[in-house]
Structure 1
Amino acid sequence: MKIFKVTTAAAAALALSLGATACGSDDDEGGSSSGSTPSAAGEKITVGIKYDQPGIGLKTPDGKYTGFDVDVATYVAKELGHEPGDIVWKEAKSADRETLLQRGDVDFIAASYSINDEREQKVDFAGPYLLAHQDVLVRADDDSIKTPEDLNNKKLCSVTGSTSAQNIKTDVAPQAQLQEYGGYSECLTGLENEVIDALTTDDSILAGYAAQDQFKGKFKLGGFKLSNENYGIGVQKGSELKAQINAALEKMVADGSWDKAVEANFGPANYQNEPAPKIGVIVD
């Protein structure tokens, strides 16, 4: 088990941060200044999320934002001194997340962002705030994929920038035929139309898709716990926001808001989530 060094001064740092100047953009395409700390009430804060992951991060046709990551990010932003109306949401696709942070286009990212060694070379992570597991989604009438090894010679889809499909090809099914699309929605369409055989990513994301009204009864989870995915909130390397966000996440768990967000977003899919992880502790 890998343990982050979470400063005991996090709460104090959070309090001090409330007097700092905000830096987020006031439009969906703007960014923030490198290394700054958004914290003044009424000032904008720019947050990266997924736009196409039901239950996690979704931009609805009427322009609203829903999902567990959205709820977590909204809570964190409030602890940093920002009301929901101060948040500028920006799409953070898997392949773009490190670039968005490094360029200062966002202040932090909560976008089903699994913590790993390669990413930690480029950005810092607060959290983790959710432990998910890699799984596969297949058509409900497909009985040919019962074990991870059955993915050999199957067309396996994931999104560009995600490590999920490569993990399967490397560790359990070397003959899997990888298909990379720009977004999970494209993979889902391919799965529905039998262009691909399986979609792989985290079980939390897959459950959100399977629970949508238009897809109920069409897909099923494989039930393979292929990895531990520790979702973290990404910030710029060396940013003081890491400690402040960790303090906010600890408060969210302690006051019951984390449990409420889980129930609101995953409850309809009967997703069997893990308990809230200890902030700063990575489960290998």
Structure 2
Amino acid sequence: MKMLKVTAAAATALALSLTATACGSDDGDESGSGGNGNKITVGIKFDQPGLGLKTPDGKYTGFDVDVATYVAKELGHEPGDIEWKEAKSADRETLLERGDVDFIAATYSINEEREKKVDFAGPYLLAHQDILVRADDDSIKKPADLNNKKLCSVTGSTSAQNVKTKLAPQAQLQEYGGYSECLTGLENKVIDALTTDDSILAGYASQKEHQGKFRLGGFKLSNENYGIGVQKGSELKARINTALEKMVSDGSWQEYVEKNFGPADYKNEPAPKIGNVVS
């Protein structure tokens, strides 16, 4: 009987010891939650070469991808910690509001309407609406030259309509399902010009199979301040701004521009200052 009491007491002590060890292990996991192995979900475009593109082999490339990867690293996440999620233009606010992503870097122009729903870090790139034409076409040198020309943009986009309303009322609008279709039409001389943000156009023109075939007009038809979207009131905004400032100061920003847009001879603006949204 005496031996049984000792054994029971020992068993109780062992159970308490294991419980304490387990609790200590949980505490250790929580304290390391900001380090490697901690997942972060980032929204990007999957279909924009030079900015956000998911390649057939499952990799992700582009300026926005490079920027997002740098920012995530500054937030404590290695590239392998990132879960990339497609952020189509119409879905971006919803993805942030529902908490489906931690932040979005997807040619996300800062404007007053969007700022009612989400917060923006940045801007990290100042783009402009522009046109893309064939490299050997010298007939379009200024916006007015688009009159009586076939001008393509994506269905639902306001870019082509802006040109027709403000600059070239006789332009013949052609709406296609995607920019790739417009580009094919441009190459085959079915259309004369493609219009959207110059960064997007430069991304397409920089693709290996397109290099040397197209040129940007350099018209700067609008200002598009790309920001990184976060949930309204999120503390991530300040931390991402700090990361963006470091990215510019250490030369990474310029490296990413040259890497992703260089083959298109993209005349990019200097890196914008944080909080300076150009109207």
1:141 to partner: Cα distance: 4.0
Q: Which residue of 2 aligns with 1:129?
A: 124
Is the deviation greater in 167-176 or in 72-81? 167-176
Residue aligned with 2:50, SS: coil
1:117 to 112, 116, 134: 112
Listed one character per residue, the Cα deviations across residues 60-93 of structure 1 (whole Å, up to 9, x for unaligned) are: 2221111111110001111111110011112222
Q: Which residue of 1 aligns with 2:236?
A: 241
- The answer as to 2:278 corresponding to 1:278 is no
Pair 256,217 (structure 1): closer, same or farther in 2 beyond 3 Å = closer
Is the deviation greater in 166-175 or in 254-263? 166-175
CA contact (8 A) 1:94 1:160 kept: no
- Paired residues in the alignment total 250
Q: Which residue of 1 aligns with 2:49?
A: 54
2:92 to 91, 97, 105: 97
Listed one character per residue, the Cα deviations across residues 201-258 of structure 1 (whole Å, up to 9, x for unaligned) are: 1222212212222223332222211112211111222222211211111111122221
User: Between Structure 1 and Structure 2, which shows a larger proportion of helix residues?
Assistant: 2
Q: Which runs of 4+ in 1 moved over 6 A?
A: 19-22
Residue aligned with 1:82, SS: coil
- The answer as to 2:166 corresponding to 1:171 is yes
Q: TM-score, normalised by structure 1?
A: 0.79
CA contact (8 A) 2:215 2:264 kept: no
CA contact (8 A) 1:73 1:110 kept: yes
* Structure 2 unaligned blocks of 5 or more: 1-29
Give the Cα–Cα distance (whole angstroms) in 2 for the partners of residues 21 and 105 of structure 1: 22
Pair 262,142 (structure 1): closer, same or farther in 2 beyond 3 Å = closer
Give the Cα–Cα distance (whole angstroms) in 1 for the partners of residues 31 and 129 of structure 2: 39
Q: TM-score, normalised by structure 2?
A: 0.80
* Structure 1 unaligned blocks of 5 or more: 1-18, 23-38
Give the Cα–Cα distance (whole angstroms) in 2 for the partners of residues 266 and 69 of structure 1: 12
2:208 to 194, 207, 213: 213
Aligned-pair RMSD on alpha carbons? 2.4
Pair 169,103 (structure 1): closer, same or farther in 2 beyond 3 Å = farther
Higher Rg of the two aligned structures: 2
